[in-house]
């Protein structure tokens, strides 16, 4: 990589890292360390192909989606157990927005990685079902049924979210 390409890559990383980190955080269910790993992996793969990438942000996001899907596919073969809630939880801060953010994050953490990924792509990234199916390598029907089941499970595990008719309203609470 020449000096100009390296400079452009550094500028891209500097400018877009916060938004990409929010996406990684959502895809990993609120696990900060896993989000950092996911973003770092995506950026490492991007820098290797930097000179042939037309749309860097789209490329990084695609790598993140596929890497996360790969990790949750491999997770079923591993014997590790993840914990959705930390042993000690912080007390409520008294504001509705902060409380809602906590509710949404916990509810997302209770979903399976596949369910969480589909909801993030559909409602946070605002991707159409056909594009999600292409990214995850499944049918549009699978995406639709996963979205439906995921929303039902999300609302069941967090009754506070039942007041929202449109999932986009509470998905925005995660990073707001």
- Would you place residue 57 in the very low, low, confident or very high pLDDT band (cuts 50, 70, 90)? very high
Q: Span 20-45, mean pLDDT? A: 91
Q: Span 51-78, mean pLDDT? A: 81
pTM given for the model: 0.55
Q: Does one domain contain both 78 and 106?
A: no
Which residue range is the domain that position 170 belongs to? 92-176
- Would you place residue 103 in the very low, low, confident or very high pLDDT band (cuts 50, 70, 90)? confident
Chain center to CA of 36: 12
112 falls within a domain = yes
Q: Does one domain contain both 97 and 172?
A: yes
More confident residue, 139 or 83: 139
Q: What is the pLDDT of residue 157?
A: 83
117 falls within a domain = yes
Q: Span 8-16, mean pLDDT? A: 94
Looking at the structure of the chain, the number of domains it has is 2
CA distance 69 to 130: 16
Given a cut of 70, whether residue 170 has pLDDT beyond it is no
Q: Does one domain contain both 103 and 157?
A: yes
Instruction: Give the residue from 64, 82, 100 where a domain finishes.
Output: 82
- Would you place residue 176 in the very low, low, confident or very high pLDDT band (cuts 50, 70, 90)? very low
The neighbour count for residue 174, using CB atoms within 10 Å, is 19
87 falls within a domain = no
Instruction: Give the residue from 59, 82, 105 where a domain finishes.
Output: 82
At which residue do the structure tokens 């895809």 appear?
27
The CA-based angle 103-168-64, given to 5 degrees, is 85
Instruction: Give the residue from 31, 50, 82 where a domain finishes.
Output: 82
């Amino acid at each position: 990589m020449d000096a100009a390409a390296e400079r452009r890559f550094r500028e891209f990383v500097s400018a877009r890292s916060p938004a990409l980190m929010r996406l990684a955080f959502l895809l990993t269910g609120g696990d900060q360390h896993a989000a950092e790993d996911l973003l770092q992996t995506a950026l490492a793969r991007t820098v290797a192909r930097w000179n042939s990438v037309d749309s860097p942000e789209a490329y990084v996001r695609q790598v993140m989606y596929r890497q996360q899907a790969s990790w949750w596919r491999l997770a079923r073969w591993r014997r590790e157990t993840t914990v959705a809630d930390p042993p000690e939880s912080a007390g409520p801060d008294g504001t509705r927005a902060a409380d809602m953010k906590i509710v949404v994050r916990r509810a997302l953490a209770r979903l399976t990685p596949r369910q969480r990924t589909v909801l993030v792509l559909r409602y946070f990234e605002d991707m159409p079902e056909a594009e999600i199916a292409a990214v995850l390598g499944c049918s549009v029907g699978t995406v639709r049924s996963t979205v439906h089941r995921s929303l039902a499970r999300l609302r069941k595990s967090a009754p506070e979210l039942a007041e929202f008719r449109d999932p986009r309203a509470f998905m925005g609470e995660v990073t707001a």
